[in-house]
Copies of this chain bind each other. A is one copy, B any other.
């Protein structure tokens, strides 16, 4: 199987996953969940929009919640570039790729570039935000899971290889991947910031947002977030975990927010910088992929996602030996 090689000197410098924009029905309900359970800090509330950041983050926002009616959706996935020069270089690149880049004005961000990637995922890039004080040592004000910073997104797309190819050209490195027995890619973990993932693509109808993940300092904070969730009536929203991932090795918990958006808290990253580290290969049939220990995820964890606003969802194209949800669940059930 031929996987893309890392591009050592990419055409522009994307530095990290930056922020996500979600629509929600009730800002007050969202505030209670994100502040008490997840432990994010409200930077600003303006024009029906809440801007949140993690307790260590000096950027203005990593989670943007916008009040809207209709099906809750994701409006944009954001990435940071190092400098304005990188943004300019990226515009040229995306234009050449036929991605229809556009400059836009976004509150509390520097010059911002909108692009739709070949999987249909709506992206935005910027190189600046207003600087806020890090609250990492404001210990008396930390709440719930103490979400420290945004880490990565997981997106379902019908053609994982196309995503891998495009993001590799932008300089993303493949850290881990999951394949079927006949070498069909089922998942790719891609990164820029030197640990396992900034963005993850999984095989499925898409593009759809599966979850946004925030890094949390310790295992105890995952347990605390669960306990706070349980004590405030969000117990049913603890959808999966605490458990341990195979790929990436992190301990995790998945929550559903009041609008059904899925938030992962996790910890225990490893560093992924040296270029001699080959991507880690996982077989989709390996039970350690999902469940080194702990209960299998509930069916809704596999099935339910957040749509991208205004973006059509395409089914995966036919392939020799498709992994169906039924087969996957059946295999897991047998194993347990």
Contacts and interface: CB of A to CB of B under 8 A. Distances in A.
Interface of A: 8, 15-16, 36, 56-59, 80, 82-83, 85, 127-129, 131, 134, 136-140, 143-144, 148-149, 193-194, 217-220, 223-224, 226-232, 234-236, 238, 240, 242, 244, 249, 251, 267-268, 270-271, 273-278, 287-288, 291-295, 298, 335-336
Given A131-B277, A137-B292, A218-B218, 11 more contacts: A16-B271, A59-B274, A80-B274, A131-B276, A131-B278, A148-B270, A193-B273, A223-B251, A226-B293, A227-B293, A242-B242
Nearest to A271: B149
Contact of A8 (B82, B219, B231): B82
Contacts of A129: 274, 276
A270 B136 contact: yes
- 9 interchain residue pairs of minimum CB distance: A230-B292, A230-B293, A235-B293, A238-B293, A139-B227, A56-B270, A218-B218, A295-B295, A139-B228
A234 B229 CA distance: 29
Which residue of A251, A295, A335, A336 has the most chain B CB atoms within 10 A of its CB atom? A295
Contact of A236 (B127, B271, B273, B336): B336
Number of copies: 4
Contacts of A127: 275
Given A82-B8, A220-B219, A242-B223, A231 B274 contact: no
A140 B277 contact: no
A228 B244 CA distance: 11
A244 B219 contact: no
A134 B288 CA distance: 16
Given A223-B242, A230-B244, A236-B336, A80 B273 contact: yes
Given A82-B275, A223-B251, A298-B295, A270 B134 contact: yes
Contacts of A131: 276-278
A235 B139 CA distance: 13
A235 to B, nearest CB: 4
A293 B229 contact: yes
Contacts of A148: 270
